[in-house]
Amino acid sequence: MITVIQLPAAVHALDLFGTAVFALTGALRALTRKLDLMGAVVLAVVTALGGGMMRDALIGRHPPAAFADQTYLLIAIVVGIAVFFWGRTIREQESWLITFDAIGLGVFTLVGAWVADQTGLGNIGILFIAMLTATGGGALRAMLVAEIPFILKKEIYASASLFGALTYLALSALDCSNTVIIWSVMLMTTGSRLLAWRLHLNLPR
Amino acid sequence: MITVIQLPAAVHALDLFGTAVFALTGALRALTRKLDLMGAVVLAVVTALGGGMMRDALIGRHPPAAFADQTYLLIAIVVGIAVFFWGRTIREQESWLITFDAIGLGVFTLVGAWVADQTGLGNIGILFIAMLTATGGGALRAMLVAEIPFILKKEIYASASLFGALTYLALSALDCSNTVIIWSVMLMTTGSRLLAWRLHLNLPR
Amino acid sequence: MITVIQLPAAVHALDLFGTAVFALTGALRALTRKLDLMGAVVLAVVTALGGGMMRDALIGRHPPAAFADQTYLLIAIVVGIAVFFWGRTIREQESWLITFDAIGLGVFTLVGAWVADQTGLGNIGILFIAMLTATGGGALRAMLVAEIPFILKKEIYASASLFGALTYLALSALDCSNTVIIWSVMLMTTGSRLLAWRLHLNLPR
């Protein structure tokens, strides 16, 4: 059984926030694709929790975090339903949505790196799991609606998660305090994502 | 190691029946998409066993049910081969096929809820795992052939599984006997699916 | 905890070779689809390690082989980057690439069958896991770029893996030495794949 040391309360709150935001983007995609209520809830849940579930299945954390604390599932379901009924005026490209999504990306990158580290994975494993946690749900959602995930084509997105995960490794190696590590990782991920979005930066292609 | 209390013999028989039916629908999709023999077998196996395998990977049941009792894999393979050679006259929309598929949906919903409950998951976790068991294989099949899964767009399908899983929770909370729970869940799932199909009911969209 | 008896050093070397080749084919597909650098690395990693990761999540091998020995991840990442910058002249249909890929298919089939056998799976489970290990990464890659995996449509590919896995079962039942089994499985898989490619053999469809 894998025991994961709890993250500080502030991070837990941000984790719930990230879950809600990712559920929101999933449900919006369902509206765009003209799916029904169940489709909205399914895409909300998959987007918000799919990355963490794949992580937990890989590292052998049973039951996965999403089942150990059902608040996550509940939030994703409620957001999916709410967006379906009252979210039709939200456009997928609104600034606040992209900002919130970037915050979710930051939190999930941190939580993924943290869990992988506690599990005893090596450095590259930590990078992999951090990015899987942050971008896996969105990739699953894309596969479900037969689209190419934007981790494969969007301006700096998975890369922002990678920057955050690298920050985690660097500050851990420098024996920084947990507080410093936690906030630096989230700031680095969210900041680089938003900067790239503002400046229309892309990786070479 | 997760030990799952065995279901009654009648449910086990229905579980094998559901496996055969789901394999049949998978292989038929392979014919529709003009895939070769191996494609028919792969889609038969994925459709019939994919949901249960994802369930077992998530909850940490090792080896998954499909490996612990190889009858399931054998049935899916044999059905895939048989459909490829002798099933070309079967249309995917035939009434008996949709009826059989609804029975499979009911059995898989029950088995999923049962296994999740034995694993000690909470209520929302049980709903999630029941629906994953029942609809995950079909979703995987759709992703493999780059289609949008019908759980995302078909008239009441995943919803029928949800009704069945909710029935499971309600009757368990009321301390009903296993026999009552088992048959009620299957009846509720299969019945609501068939009713929706007959009446062309859809969720709001 | 699942303990897997190590394969001989020669097989380990071939396993690293297979990882590099599968990463190469993944990154080439990213170039074909005009993805960016991160897309090339993601598809390289998914193609090279996705099959083994799904195998390990299913059989409960934690951490998965790809995390226990990070050389695999490192190779896939480096190959992905290298192909992105210097691989643009490589065409996906070149003879040497198909030959190398067939060798990778052979090694991965062997390693999958070996691991499944050590885990105590039955015969059909061994066939399933061997084929999943060898073809799962390619299938995942195809789902990520919304294509139909070639295991579903290419001339003898998954079938070559099946022939190899059947060879494993047959020679194990005959109590052949590990050396005989290992090289026969790889020869059978790689040989049948290359023969089918040369002769344009296909399964009935």
Compute the nearest-CA separation of B86 from chain A (Å).
Answer: 31
- Mutation target to probe the C interface, by most C beta carbons within 10 A, among A62, A128, A157 is A128
* The pLDDT of residue A166 is above 80: yes
Amino acid type, B198: R
DSSP assignment string, B161-190: HHHHHHHHHHHHHTT--HHHHHHHHHHHHH
Assigned token pair, C141: 């890659």
Helix locations, chain B, DSSP H: 9-32, 37-59, 65-68, 71-86, 95-118, 123-144, 158-173, 178-199
8 Å CB contact of B205 and A73:
no
pLDDT at C2: 57
Output the pLDDT for position A4.
62
The answer, yes or no, to whether residue A132 has pLDDT greater than 80, is yes
Cα separation, A127 vs A114, whole angstroms: 10
Q: Which of B36, B57, B66 sits opposite C57 (nearest CB)?
A: B57
- Chains interfacing with B (3 or more CB pairs < 8 Å): A, C
Please give the pLDDT value at position B205: 73
Q: Chain A contact for C36, CB < 8 A?
A: yes
Left if phi > 0, otherwise alpha if psi is -120 to 50, otherwise beta: which for A200? left
pLDDT at C158: 92
Alpha-carbon distance values, A103 to A6, A99, A109, B8, C92 (Å): 20, 6, 10, 49, 39
Nearest C-alpha in A relative to B162: A38
Structure tokens at C24: 């190469």
Name the residue in chain B with its Cα closest to that of A42. Answer: B152
Whether the CA torsion A55, B53, C123, B3 is positive or negative: it is: positive
Note the pLDDT of residue C94. Answer: 84
pLDDT at C67: 94
Is the Cβ pair A125, C63 closer than 8 Å?
Answer: yes
Partners of C58 on chain B (C-beta within 8 Å) are 53, 56-57, 62-64, 67
Instruction: Tell me what the mean pLDDT of segment A91-96 comes to.
Output: 84
Substitution target from C150, C151, C203 for chain B, most B beta carbons within 10 A = C203
CB within 8 Å: A73 and B162 = no
pLDDT of residue C11: 85
Q: Identify which of C37, C63, C145 has the shortest CB distance to residue A148.
A: C145
| B–C interface: beta-carbon pairs under 8 A | 78
Q: Is the pLDDT of residue B2 over 60?
A: no
Give me the residues of A, 59-78, that contact C with CB < 8 A: 59-60
| Angle at alpha carbon of residue A59, lines to A121 and A159, rounded to 5° | 65
Give me the pLDDT at residue A160, please: 95
Give the pLDDT mean for B14-42.
94
> How close is the nearest chain A Cα to the Cα of C106, in Å?
24
pLDDT above 90 for B42: yes
Cα distances (Å, whole numbers) of residue B201 to B178, B205, C147: 31, 12, 32
A38 has a chain B CB within 8 A of its CB: yes
Number of CB pairs, chain A paired with chain B, less than 8 A apart: 78
Cα nearest neighbour of B138 on chain A? A144
Length of chain B: 205
What the block records as the tokens of A157 is: 């997105």
pLDDT at B149: 83
- Chain A residues lying within 8 Å of C70, measured CB to CB: 122-125
In this complex, do A56 and B59 lie within 8 Å of one another by their Cβ atoms? Answer: no
Give mean pLDDT, residues A3-8: 70
Question: Could you give the CA distance from residue C98 to residue A167 in angstroms, rounded to a whole number?
Answer: 39
Nearest CA in chain B to A73: B124
Q: Tell me the nearest-neighbour CA distance from B140 into chain C, angstroms.
A: 10
B201 touches chain A (CB under 8 A): no
The per-residue pLDDT for A200 is 82
Contact B153 A57 (CB under 8 A): no
pLDDT over threshold 60, residue B123: yes
Of A6, A8, A17, A4, nearest in space to A103 by CA: A17
Above 60 in pLDDT, residue B1? Answer: no
Best CA proximity match to C84, nearest among C141, C119, C116, C44:
C44
Flag residues of chain C having pLDDT under 70: 1-5, 154-155
| Residue B108 Cα to chain centre, angstroms | 4
Task: For chain A, positions 103-162, list CB contacts with chain C under 8 A.
Answer: 119-125, 128, 139, 142-143, 146-149, 151-153, 158-159, 162
Nearest to B36 among C57, C143, C202 (CB): C202
Q: What is the Cα–Cα distance from A46 to A76, expressed in whole angstroms?
A: 9
Residues of chain A found within 8 Å of residue C35, distances taken between Cβ atoms: 152-153, 205
Contact A152 C64 (CB under 8 A): no
pLDDT at position C4: 62
Percent of chain A exceeding pLDDT 70 equals 96
Considering chain B, what is the average pLDDT of its residues?
Answer: 92
Q: Give the whole-angstrom CA distance, residue B17 versus residue B72.
A: 10
Residue C54: CB atoms within 10 Å: 22
Nearest to C205 among B35, B63, B67 (CB): B35
The answer to whether C67 and A122 are in contact (CB under 8 A) is yes
Confidence band, pLDDT 50/70/90 cuts, at residue B193: very high
Mutation to test the A interface, candidates B46, B115, B203, most A Cβ within 10 Å: B203
Which residues of B fall within a CB distance of 8 Å from C121? 63, 67
Are the Cβ atoms of A62 and B60 closer than 8 angstroms? yes
User: Above pLDDT 70, what percent of chain B?
Assistant: 96
C33 CB neighbours in chain B (<8 A) are none
Report how far residue A32's alpha carbon sits from residue B205's, in angstroms, rounded to the nearest whole number.
Answer: 11
Residue closest to A116 by CA, chosen among A140, A142, A134, A139: A134
- How remote is the C-alpha of B20 from its chain's centroid? 10
| List of residues 6+ apart from A96 with CB closer than 8 A | none
Dihedral sign, CA of C29, C33, C39, C42?
A: negative
* Distance in angstroms (rounded) separating the CA atoms of residues C132 and B155: 33
Q: Is A205 near chain C, with CB under 8 Å?
A: yes
Contact list, A139 vs chain C (CB under 8 Å) = 144
Contacting residues of A for B121, CB less than 8 Å apart? 63, 67
Q: For residue range A12-68, list pLDDT tens digits in order.
A: 899 999 999 999 999 999 999 889 999 999 999 999 999 999 999 999 999 999 999
pLDDT of residue B3: 59
Q: Which residues of C touch B62 (CB under 8 A)?
A: 58-60
Tokens of C95: 């003879």
Residue partners of C39: CB distance under 8 A and separation at least 6: A151, A152, A153, A205, C30, C33
How many Å lie between the alpha carbon of C51 and the closest alpha carbon of chain A? 12
* Tens digits of residue pLDDT in A173-192: 999 999 999 999 999 999 99
Average pLDDT over residues A113-121: 94
